[in-house]
Structure 1
């Protein structure tokens, strides 16, 4: 993990409610600079404006080098969006692209609806500022009867590199491992998405609906945890899940070594790790094992782990991962041979 990545996160990611959740796992006090990026309570709206969104995305002309003449010529079919403070080029678009300024879409439209029970829990910039998010949370951490502590939140995200529509989607932060989880929170109708087009806008009613999802997330997530904790997974079923989740090649080589290493890591988490073992023998323990492995131990390529985890949370990768785990596990639990063998 590079020092530069940690420096970026500790300067461009603001984390709130540390009295309730503790510090983020990527936190380094020595890299915070002149101002701490962790807050014991909510992240102040004005700090998000000043520290993260205190610049504009400006449109610039695009020029290309003519291979025949060697001269630069304008490409009128494209425009670039750059940061006004440092000139960083975030993305290239057609003239019909409609930018969604961070302050307007992630602060003004949502911030005006915040109340005493909803505040900013985190906010940040990634990819040089080309991707941004703001997470809206309730002040108190929720603890289920099964001992799972989580914080329901609503991610508001958008981008200036073309990678994301503007979206408001549900998720939850698992306190014991600082993981973002989705479980069954990705059903149709549980997020709002707005394209970057000339007629794009977020109505007040839609904004209120998005914020209401935070409260709904708490009930739905807690109910899903209870259901999964009440679903027994025997040792034989766990072994079958490992076989389905991590296929070990028959031939010796790098692929087989990596697969065996992953199986060993998942088994260690399942049996011994405090973030997983308390729920060993349940479907929730299976989800927690794979989710924790993916966040904290899996090999990361072409991007650094903290940035990968942040991007996965806001782009929907967490939803896809949790759905895949539950789909595989459900299929195995329905198998008669495994049930009888238990």
Structure 2
């Protein structure tokens, strides 16, 4: 769950292409700080480095005071060579250093980001998210390519423990089914070990600003997502040139458009909608508390209102895409959120939770619509 405040989202995330797309939904003028975080065009690479990645991830062995009367001259325990007694300036007590681990922290604030083994390679966001995309963008934010690619958004989450840079092109794809969307490359990484460095293709449906990261054919999807488990192999993820990245975007666009067509061709009648509703939000047993039944009934009412009346869903009501859009819109905009909803949605997109939720929705939908015989 995201804990980002409005002030954090308005200063530690950067939003581009606002001249075409308007302000982000988390925009608050009073929380913008000394300079706005919205850009009319692409975000310059230099601004991402200066405003978001202008600090270093440093590492130090954990230290703790010795709670007994030893002296710094006491030799280290032979059975635990990874621990060493050291003197720390300003500390009235000797300290034990755990040399088998290292704490990664921000150089500007000292905020701890994660604890790892001593062999963990500390890398910088600039290296992982910008240098890895260096073939895509020039310093002013435009790709060296016949087709324009640039940074559409970038940001830090969880106090800097998670970061992302999103590369996209300005055009919106319009499908015959009336679904307008944009496809982008989302590069994400973490300093707390919560997610690997990865590049993935994600889609933004314009009518509702929902993020979709799914594909009907999982084999196709595996070709559109790269995850790096070992940081020492960072160079393996570098794109050869901007055209390679552009090809990834175009392939993702074509695949998403084809999937939309298939889902829009899948009929969902009133009886099937009730079955989907029962599967996604089953009513509790009679012995359940009144509050529990009320929560579920409210959820069902919200989903049904989206399905029958909401402009973000109604054009596709009666289809498989309409059901996916109903659930996705509910999860993005209506589902109860602890803290800031915009921050939660951003975190879910970056960490892959949105993709997992969409995949589960599709899986459950097909199970309901095509029961085993």
TM-score by length of 1: 0.91
RMSD across aligned positions (CA): 2.4
The reply on whether 1:263 has 2:300 as its aligned counterpart is: yes
Matches within 5 A, 1:78-97: 78-97=101-120
Secondary structure (helix, strand or coil) at the match of 1:201 reads: helix
Secondary structure (helix, strand or coil) at the match of 2:267 reads: coil
2:82 is aligned to none
CA spacing shift, 1:10–1:242, aligned 2, 3 Å: same
1:210 is displaced (CA, Å) by 5.1
1:308 is displaced (CA, Å) by 1.9
1:195 is displaced (CA, Å) by 2.4
CA spacing shift, 1:143–1:230, aligned 2, 3 Å: same
1:335 is displaced (CA, Å) by 4.1
The reply on whether 1:37 has 2:37 as its aligned counterpart is: yes
Secondary structure (helix, strand or coil) at the match of 2:39 reads: coil
2:326 is aligned to 289
CA spacing shift, 1:180–1:4, aligned 2, 3 Å: closer
Q: Distance in 2 between matches of 1:226 and 1:195?
A: 34
Secondary structure (helix, strand or coil) at the match of 2:58 reads: strand
CA spacing shift, 1:206–1:2, aligned 2, 3 Å: closer
Alignment size in residue pairs: 336
CA spacing shift, 1:300–1:203, aligned 2, 3 Å: closer
2:346 is aligned to 310
Residue 99 of structure 1 contacts residue 196 of structure 1 at CA under 8 Å; is this kept in 2? Answer: no
Q: Distance in 2 between matches of 1:2 and 1:94?
A: 27
User: How big is each residue's C-alpha offset from its partner over 1:117-162, in whole Å with a ceiling of 9 and x where there is no partner?
Assistant: 2111110000101100001111111121222121101110111111
Residue 2 of structure 2 contacts residue 344 of structure 2 at CA under 8 Å; is this kept in 1? Answer: no
Q: Distance in 1 between matches of 2:277 and 2:240?
A: 42
Residue 3 of structure 2 contacts residue 340 of structure 2 at CA under 8 Å; is this kept in 1? Answer: no
1:332 is displaced (CA, Å) by 2.0
Residue 306 of structure 2 contacts residue 326 of structure 2 at CA under 8 Å; is this kept in 1? Answer: yes
Q: Greater Rg, structure 1 or structure 2?
A: 2
The reply on whether 1:24 has 2:21 as its aligned counterpart is: no
1:323 is displaced (CA, Å) by 1.0
Name stretches of at least 5 consecutive residues in structure 1 with no aligned partner. 338-342
CA spacing shift, 1:260–1:65, aligned 2, 3 Å: farther
2:181 is aligned to 150
Name stretches of at least 5 consecutive residues in structure 2 with no aligned partner. 70-92, 138-142
TM-score by length of 2: 0.84
After the TM superposition, which of the residue ranges 30-39 and 7-16 deviates more from structure 2?
30-39
Q: Distance in 1 between matches of 2:213 and 2:135?
A: 27
The reply on whether 1:120 has 2:116 as its aligned counterpart is: no
Q: Distance in 2 between matches of 1:221 and 1:21?
A: 21
